[in-house]
Amino acid sequence: MAAKLAGTGQQNIRLYETKGLILPERTAGGTRQYSDADVALLLHIGELLHQGLNLAGIAKVLELEVANAELRLALRRAGSRPDA
């Protein structure tokens, strides 16, 4: 179902998982369970592929996006602290 929602194939999703781009939850029986966030990530990966990035480049972009989000959060927290 995730492959259909993301407009890609199951083999591609397994490749992305192998490369560490996506890490779905698993049931006790080992079945992959994809969240809405996972599907959004698959769509984002598809957009980056369409722009010409390879999987190594996409991994770096995703890593930098997470770091950027963490820095923004830290800046917001630092900005909300009263000066001592």
pLDDT block averages, 10 residues each, the chain of length 84: 92 96 94 95 97 98 98 92 62
Integer Cα distance of 77 and 72 in angstroms? 9
- What pLDDT score was predicted for residue 83? 62
Residue 8: CATH number of its domain = 1.10.1660.10
Which range of residues forms the domain containing residue 57? 2-80
- What pLDDT score was predicted for residue 10? 94
- What pLDDT score was predicted for residue 81? 72
Q: Which residues contact 63 (CB under 8 A, 6 or more apart)?
A: none
- What pLDDT score was predicted for residue 80? 79
Predicted model pTM: 0.84
Number of domains in the chain: 1
